[in-house]
């Protein structure tokens, strides 16, 4: 019994000596990851995955049968969202793969300059001029829609993947 009392007294003494950090009330960065793990068997065509460290949209998935000494393999082929290059990789079906965190936002396109940079307005009325369409076809399409717009807005969908933003689509419509 005396031994238990000594242990309890030592514990309370240690608690009394501990002082809270002066920085406990500071707001810190959440440290949120740009990717999250999923099981390889949950991947689907038209989904997203990191292939050789590139965020890719999956265009093809194939599964091989289990072999004599192992698991089934999954062969994934995807197109890099940023560059348009094709990447492929092979995963073991039971292992975890990384999927990029993705968010989409719609903007109203106001103007596009000769270099392809666009003036965009968000829901709050804030403007930005730091985005440009990746390929020439997208730039021409947006420029044509802006030229012939009348009473409707040109809506641009911007996808944010791994802290990079890319213009994915443009359409005419009312926001």
**Per-residue model confidence as pLDDT tens digits over 50-94:** 999 999 999 999 999 887 778 899 999 999 998 889 999 999 988
In order of start, what are the domains of the chain with their CATH numbers? Answer: 35-100 (2.30.30.30), 102-173 (2.40.50.140)
Check the CA dihedral 34-98-169-83 and report its sign: positive
Res 112: pLDDT: 85
Q: Is residue 113 over pLDDT 90? A: no
- Tell me the C-alpha to C-alpha distance, in Å, between residue 174 and each of 36, 100, 109, 143: 35, 30, 12, 18
pTM of this structure: 0.69
pLDDT at 163 over 80: yes
The more confidently predicted of residues 12 and 100 is 100
Residues in the chain: 175
Q: Predicted confidence band at 25 (pLDDT cuts at 50, 70, 90)?
A: very low
> Rounded to an integer, what distance in angstroms lies between the CA atom of residue 71 and that of residue 6?
55
Residue 134, pLDDT score: 77
| pLDDT computed for residue 26 by the predictor | 35
* Predicted pLDDT of residue 51: 95
* Beta strands 102-112 and 96-100, pairing class: unpaired
């Amino acid at each position: 019994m005396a031994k238990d009392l000594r242990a309890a007294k030592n514990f309370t003494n240690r608690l009394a000596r501990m002082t809270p950090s002066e920085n406990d009330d500071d707001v810190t960065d959440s440290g949120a990851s740009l990717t999250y793990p999923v099981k390889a068997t949950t991947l689907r065509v038209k989904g997203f995955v990191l292939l050789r460290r590139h965020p890719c949209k999956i265009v093809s998935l194939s599964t091989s049968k289990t072999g004599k000494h192992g698991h089934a393999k999954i062969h994934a082929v995807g197109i890099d969202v940023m560059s348009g290059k094709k990447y492929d990789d092979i995963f073991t079906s039971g292992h975890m793969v990384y999927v990029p965190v993705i968010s989409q936002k719609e903007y109203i396109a106001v103007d596009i300059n000769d270099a392809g940079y666009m003036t965009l307005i968000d829901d709050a009325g804030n403007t930005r001029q730091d985005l440009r369409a990746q390929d020439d076809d997208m730039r021409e399409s947006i420029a044509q829609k802006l030229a012939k717009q009348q009473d409707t807005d040109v809506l641009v969908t911007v996808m944010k993947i791994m802290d990079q933003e890319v213009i994915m689509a443009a359409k005419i419509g009312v926001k």
